[in-house]
Chain A
Amino acid sequence: MNKPLLSFILAVAGWAVFHYGVFPVFTPEEPGWILNRYVYYLVFTAYLIAVNVAMKLQPPMALRGLYVFMMGYYFYDSILYPHVPWTLFITYMMLWAIGTFLYVSQDPVTFREFRAPIVKTIVGEYKMARIVVFTVLPFLVGWATYNSLYPKFAEPVELRTVHPAPPATTKVHGKTYALEEVSNPFRVDEQDNYKDSFPFLDADKSEYMKYVTEGGTVFFENCHYCHGDQLNGLGMFSHVFNPTPANFIDPGTIAMLQESFLFWRVAKGGPGLPNESTPWSSAMPPWEEHLTTDEIWKVILFEYWYTGWHPRTFDEESSVG
């Protein structure tokens, strides 16, 4: 059998076996040090090299170039996770194509070897190949033209700022608060002391749990529709709104914010956001219209107690020093 053809068949068949048989084994739900997609890719690369070396197939340069290019394509398309956006994918593939070209043109001999089958196709030494290529390509060009001219519409992408800079002061129920200085008046004790306490049952026994119970009551009368019973932003109404409601379980939300920031956001809601945060579609109510100042602070206290996060604070000594 013709060696380049054998090499090609082994590469394609090997890919099919690896991709459909071995890849799923290497992508369990929880990837480990060995069983992960990148190790799989290395193993597949090793297979491809080993089979060609061991069988002394010596694929011609054009085929090697094809292998190198396709391995790059396979990596960016199927291995790299999460998948990169297609604009970035095109950029990567262009760089990869340049790399492949450098590989085949490393010296005049390899470059000539690479060109040989292409030149033979063009001048007609490979007759069938020339007929096929020269008929298919114009149709492909026509098809691509048709596709690019036919109007298609996808919804526009909108960007927004998730954590806008808070103002220096905010006025709630007639009182002005300096956000740098204000703290939660109901944080009367260290919250970790109440990890195993019960709302309602312990509300009479400790002041802290009384505030948590009151805050939770406010939350479950008003907030859970969007922020969810689990405070994960998946309430009954959450799928309707865009932007979707904040997920307080996520380490990127209340866990990295000061309580005063929350106070401002809760009191002023969507309409109080600066322009870059798309205030026009935020469904967050300006809660000062519905809740008292005390209720706002209590619900903030509850959110930290329920999620187990601690509000961000600035160490007084270090900020002074």
Chain B
Amino acid sequence: MLLLTLVVSMAMAGVAFGEEEIRPPDAVKTDLLELGKKVYFKRCVWCHGVKGAGDGPAAERLFTRPRNFLSGNFKIRTTDSGELPLDESLIRTVKNGLQGSAMPAWGEFLKEDEIVAVVNFVKTLVEDRDFNDAEDEEVTIMEFGTNPWNTTGPYHLGVPQDAIDRGKELFTKNKCFECHGGEGRGDGNPTMKDDWGFPIMAADWQQCWNFRGSRRDPFNPFHVVRTVSTGLNGTPMPNFKDKLTIENRWDLAAFVNSLCPRKKQDKLTSKPVPDFLISSSNTPGTIAEKIDDPMWQSPDHDPRIVERSEEKAGNPRVNYIALAGQITRGKRNFDPKADNLWVTSRWNEEQGIYYLVEFHNRFLSTDPEYPDAVAIQWPAKLQDLFGAEKPYFIFGDSKKPVDIWKASFMAKDYNPAGAPNPAGYQLDVTVEELNGNGFEDVMAKDETTVQVVDSIFHQGRVKVLFKRALTTEGEMDVQIPVEQFIPVSFMQWAGDDKETDENMAISTWYYTILEPAVDQGHILLMAGVMGTVFVGLQGWLVWMTKRTRKMYSDGKVKQDELPF
């Protein structure tokens, strides 16, 4: 009998294992609706609209529009594709917000009961589905398994390479690149639409801090496992629960997350902390003018978090520069296509200064009237600035002009809808130097001294290598001193979004400094000299102490009395 029970229970356990729980959706808690309505109409209505159709006053200018609740499609769930979410998922979404969109985290702003109430109120805004309909609606709660490598935050390092390699195979086999691009920058398909007919972009895996639902834990592979298991309702992202086993999904997540650069994250904004000082590393010998030279191949990871391989250990840091739309003056840009740039710099006396500027852009322009462009902005009269003073950060001002190095470019033989060229695309670059004396007063200079020595567009990433001599003849050119903090800022124009002139993405002022050549031998010599001098001092101390003792023992002076 005992044996029989054991066998039966084992068989039942076997059946239950891996089986998902199916149940009716969480019904609306009607007693909370009054409070929920109050919260909704004070906090949420501005984006999600009076009826919840995602058409509040903010909606028109947002890319990634606010969610339209009417059809009951929600992205972040633990339920199967197309199904309604559980309350706990909605509550988590409200608490943590949705990274990479305008949805903020309400967890530290609203009280717990207010959040539960507003979630229940939002459920009543859904028109096409009914959370209370236990007969026609059911939800399947997905299995996600657990992290097989027991990695921990914040950076989830230590995932074995073979898991990442298996993930990469699954990535290829399941054609994830068709939307997410060959290196995961979301550059696969320019024509996607969401369920409401608005254009939509595949996620850029190399910027995992923008993954929806990843707040304060962007490197956790779980978020990828969840998305792969549940799909994202309302978007073209399907689920892969039948194509991939749970172990497969974790491997795929390992690959996806391995692409995301480990940078220190700001807790308040859940974005990487900008690198406010761009150190230009002094490079003796020759600086390579080819981007694919190992000299320019620093990994994006912060070297303090992910140790570099030996041959790249001496390479300069890749600096993270945050960008936002220019929403201050003139024609404003509310939906910039790039939200950051990556900058590496080297210099030497003979060749001058080099800045390698990189940014992600899923698709380049094919319209010669609207080329893509990127620029570096400097104070034109650095020598006239006093203290922390700088020109106005958008095109300078009447008293303090700026010098702008602008590279505009079109990719050669490029068709965004076609299969990508595995070697990338060469760029047709035009370099312009502008002087800005205020937002209305931007003029191109007659002579250019700045060069773009190499450039490429490859798998959704643009790389442009700027070069200039440290000093020039031009009166309105920035003259670049060594070992001095120089303000610098960046601008970027996305041609396929018809961005031009002041309609651009922009950074605030950063600093750059040309690190002086370090005379290692001299420093070592000085350290040796100081050490030796100290040895002498020690000898003197011993001699002095012994002499005093002798004076005591000889009775010349008494202890605790000063000798005269």
Q: Hey, which bits of chain A sit against chain B, CB under 8 A? A: 108, 112, 119, 122-124, 134, 137-139, 141-143, 145-146, 149-151, 153-156, 158-159, 196, 198-201, 216-217, 219-222, 224-226, 228-230, 232, 234-242, 269-271, 275, 278-281, 283-286, 289-290, 306
| Cβ contacts A to B, 29 pairs, < 8 Å | A123-B546, A138-B532, A139-B531, A141-B534, A142-B528, A142-B530, A150-B518, A151-B483, A151-B516, A156-B485, A198-B45, A199-B42, A200-B41, A201-B50, A220-B57, A220-B58, A221-B58, A225-B102, A225-B324, A229-B103, A230-B104, A232-B109, A239-B271, A240-B323, A242-B509, A275-B389, A281-B390, A281-B393, A286-B329
Contact B41 A198 (CB under 8 A): yes
Considering the chains assembled together, what is the distance between the CA atoms of A251 and B47 in angstroms? 26
Contact A306 B534 (CB under 8 A): no
Contact A306 B42 (CB under 8 A): yes
Is B348 an interface residue, CB under 8 A from the partner? no
Residues of B within 8 Å of A108, CB to CB, are 560
Number of A-B contacts (CB under 8 A): 178
Is B328 an interface residue, CB under 8 A from the partner? yes
Considering the chains assembled together, what is the distance between the CA atoms of A145 and B533 in angstroms? 12
Contact B38 A234 (CB under 8 A): no
Given A138-B534, A306-B42, 12 further pairs, Cβ under 8 A:
A122-B545, A142-B534, A146-B523, A150-B518, A201-B50, A224-B46, A224-B58, A230-B104, A232-B109, A235-B102, A240-B274, A285-B329
Contact B266 A239 (CB under 8 A): yes
Given known pairs A154-B277, A156-B485, A224-B58, the reply for A142 and B42 (CB within 8 Å) is no
Is B541 an interface residue, CB under 8 A from the partner? yes
Contact B545 A123 (CB under 8 A): yes
From A112, A199, A235, A280, B45 is in contact (CB under 8 Å) with A199
Residues of A within 8 Å of B102, CB to CB, are 224-225, 229, 235-236
Considering the chains assembled together, what is the distance between the CA atoms of A281 and B433 in angstroms? 22
B404 to chain A, nearest CB (A): 15
Residues of A within 8 Å of B509, CB to CB, are 242, 280-281
Residues of A within 8 Å of B328, CB to CB, are 269-270, 283-285
A201 to chain B: closest residue by CB: B41
Considering the chains assembled together, what is the distance between the CA atoms of A230 and B106 in angstroms? 8
Considering the chains assembled together, what is the distance between the CA atoms of A139 and B538 in angstroms? 13
Contact B57 A221 (CB under 8 A): yes
A141 to chain B: closest residue by CB: B534
Residues of A within 8 Å of B325, CB to CB, are 225, 237
Residues of B within 8 Å of A143, CB to CB, are 527
From A196, A200, A225, A229, B334 is in contact (CB under 8 Å) with A225
Contact B269 A234 (CB under 8 A): yes
Contact B541 A122 (CB under 8 A): yes
Residues of B within 8 Å of A222, CB to CB, are 327
Considering the chains assembled together, what is the distance between the CA atoms of A108 and B530 in angstroms? 35
Residues of B within 8 Å of A241, CB to CB, are 324, 508
Is B542 an interface residue, CB under 8 A from the partner? yes
B61, B103, B104, B527: residue with the most chain A Cβ atoms closer than 10 Å: B527
Residues of A within 8 Å of B531, CB to CB, are 138-139, 141-142, 145
Considering the chains assembled together, what is the distance between the CA atoms of A159 and B56 in angstroms? 39
Given known pairs A230-B106, A237-B324, the reply for A145 and B527 (CB within 8 Å) is yes
B329, B391, B528: residue with the most chain A Cβ atoms closer than 10 Å: B329
Residues of B within 8 Å of A141, CB to CB, are 530-531, 534
From A134, A153, A225, A275, B538 is in contact (CB under 8 Å) with A134
A199, A220, A226: residue with the most chain B Cβ atoms closer than 10 Å: A220
Given known pairs A155-B485, A285-B328, the reply for A280 and B527 (CB within 8 Å) is no
A154 to chain B, nearest CB (A): 7
Contact B45 A196 (CB under 8 A): no
B363 to chain A, nearest CB (A): 22
Is B526 an interface residue, CB under 8 A from the partner? yes
Considering the chains assembled together, what is the distance between the CA atoms of A150 and B520 in angstroms? 8
Contact A280 B47 (CB under 8 A): no
Is B111 an interface residue, CB under 8 A from the partner? no
Considering the chains assembled together, what is the distance between the CA atoms of A67 and B545 in angstroms? 26
Contact A220 B400 (CB under 8 A): no
From A146, A234, A280, A289, B389 is in contact (CB under 8 Å) with A280
From B104, B327, B485, B515, A237 is in contact (CB under 8 Å) with B327
Residues of B within 8 Å of A201, CB to CB, are 41, 50
A236 to chain B: closest residue by CB: B102
Residues of B within 8 Å of A242, CB to CB, are 276, 508-509
From A112, A123, A217, B542 is in contact (CB under 8 Å) with A123
Considering the chains assembled together, what is the distance between the CA atoms of A221 and B206 in angstroms? 30
From A229, A239, A270, B322 is in contact (CB under 8 Å) with A239
From A139, A216, A235, A238, B57 is in contact (CB under 8 Å) with A216
Residues of B within 8 Å of A240, CB to CB, are 274, 322-324, 507-508
Considering the chains assembled together, what is the distance between the CA atoms of A158 and B559 in angstroms? 56
Q: Which B residues, 230 to 270, have Cβ-Cβ distances below 8 Å to chain A?
A: 266, 268-269
> Nearest 8 CB-CB pairs, A to B?
A237-B324, A142-B531, A240-B324, A220-B58, A198-B41, A239-B269, A155-B277, A220-B46
Contact A238 B546 (CB under 8 A): no
A159 to chain B: closest residue by CB: B388
Residues of A within 8 Å of B541, CB to CB, are 122
Considering the chains assembled together, what is the distance between the CA atoms of A139 and B527 in angstroms? 9
Contact A149 B526 (CB under 8 A): yes
Is B549 an interface residue, CB under 8 A from the partner? yes
Considering the chains assembled together, what is the distance between the CA atoms of A241 and B485 in angstroms? 19
From B268, B515, B542, A234 is in contact (CB under 8 Å) with B268
Considering the chains assembled together, what is the distance between the CA atoms of A154 and B266 in angstroms? 19
A140 to chain B, nearest CB (A): 9
From A138, A220, A269, B47 is in contact (CB under 8 Å) with A220
Is B279 an interface residue, CB under 8 A from the partner? yes
Considering the chains assembled together, what is the distance between the CA atoms of A200 and B389 in angstroms? 45
Given known pairs A229-B102, A237-B327, the reply for A112 and B508 (CB within 8 Å) is no
Residues of B within 8 Å of A271, CB to CB, are 392, 397
* B92-110 interface bits toward A, Cβ cutoff 8 Å, 1 = contact, 0 = none: 0000000001111010010
Is B118 an interface residue, CB under 8 A from the partner? no
A258 to chain B, nearest CB (A): 25
A127 to chain B, nearest CB (A): 13
A117 to chain B, nearest CB (A): 13
A247 to chain B, nearest CB (A): 10
Is B511 an interface residue, CB under 8 A from the partner? yes
Considering the chains assembled together, what is the distance between the CA atoms of A225 and B397 in angstroms? 24
Considering the chains assembled together, what is the distance between the CA atoms of A159 and B392 in angstroms? 17
Residues of B within 8 Å of A216, CB to CB, are 46, 57
From A199, A221, A225, A232, B41 is in contact (CB under 8 Å) with A199
A208 to chain B, nearest CB (A): 15
Residues of B within 8 Å of A155, CB to CB, are 276-277, 485, 511
Residues of B within 8 Å of A219, CB to CB, are 46
Residues of B within 8 Å of A237, CB to CB, are 324-325, 327
Contact B518 A200 (CB under 8 A): no
B44 to chain A: closest residue by CB: A229
* B322-348 interface bits toward A, Cβ cutoff 8 Å, 1 = contact, 0 = none: 111101110010100000000000000
Is B179 an interface residue, CB under 8 A from the partner? no
Residues of A within 8 Å of B37, CB to CB, are 198
Contact A153 B42 (CB under 8 A): no
Contact A158 B535 (CB under 8 A): no
Considering the chains assembled together, what is the distance between the CA atoms of A305 and B538 in angstroms? 72
Residues of B within 8 Å of A199, CB to CB, are 41-42, 45-46
Is B524 an interface residue, CB under 8 A from the partner? yes
Is B513 an interface residue, CB under 8 A from the partner? yes
B56 to chain A: closest residue by CB: A220
Residues of B within 8 Å of A285, CB to CB, are 327-329
Residues of A within 8 Å of B276, CB to CB, are 155, 242
Residues of B within 8 Å of A229, CB to CB, are 43, 46-47, 58, 102-104
Given known pairs A123-B545, A234-B104, A239-B269, the reply for A200 and B47 (CB within 8 Å) is no
